[in-house]
Amino acid sequence: MKAAFLDRDGVINEKAPEGEYIARWEEIRFLPDAFSAVSALARAGFKIIVATNQRGVALGKVRSVDLEEIHRRMREEFSRQGIVLTGIYVCTHDYADQCSCRKPQPGLLIRAAAEHGIELPSSWMIGDATSDIEAGKRAGCRTARILIAGSREEADSRADINSPNLAAAVERILQCSSVNRSTNA
């Protein structure tokens, strides 16, 4: 069983401005092609799992109840598009907590893999930050870095794929999966 682990903000929905947090469902703006890209992954046999750091909870800028509502409604929206989110895994800790679940630590991915029978070497971590790529590598996944237009972030040499958006990343992931299937046949 393989999974596509997706970071949330900057990958499937717009990020909040620097230093701010998405605190309510009304602030969620899905990125163009997010649903079609995730649907393509699901059709290719990937379990879809969101793995997201949400430090705003630890800082008191996002209420836990509102975060739960965002994720409940996100599941509903994906379901309306015919997509099952296998899981949403969240780290609400601050940096100082030094937990094992805050990316770049791999705890969210490892826990999701254990709970859903996921083979990490067959899986991908897709994110827009160095911490996403590092978490994926530490968990043993392949990685795809989304480069947000206008950001100061540059391509990540550790990522297996660097792409301008989720749709382009998924296209490359599916090409890699197709090549791997034909070489293993």
Is the Cα dihedral 57, 60, 61, 63 positive or negative?
A: positive
One-letter amino acid identity for 110? I
Q: Round to whole Å and give the CA distance between 73 and 85.
A: 12
Coil, helix or strand at residue 38:
helix
78 near 35, Cβ under 8 Å? yes
9 is catalytic: yes
User: Per DSSP, which regions of 63-179 are E strands?
Assistant: 85-91, 124-127, 142-146, 161-163
Which helix or strand (DSSP H or E) is residue 96 part of? none
7 is catalytic: yes
Q: Nearest 10 degrees: CA dihedral of 51, 57, 61, 66?
A: 80
Coil, helix or strand at residue 144:
strand
168 near 32, Cβ under 8 Å? no
Considering the candidates 9, 128, 132, 156, report the single residue annotated as catalytic.
9
Structure tokens at 58: 């630890």
Considering the candidates 7, 128, 132, 156, report the single residue annotated as catalytic.
7
Q: Which are the catalytic amino acids?
A: 7, 9
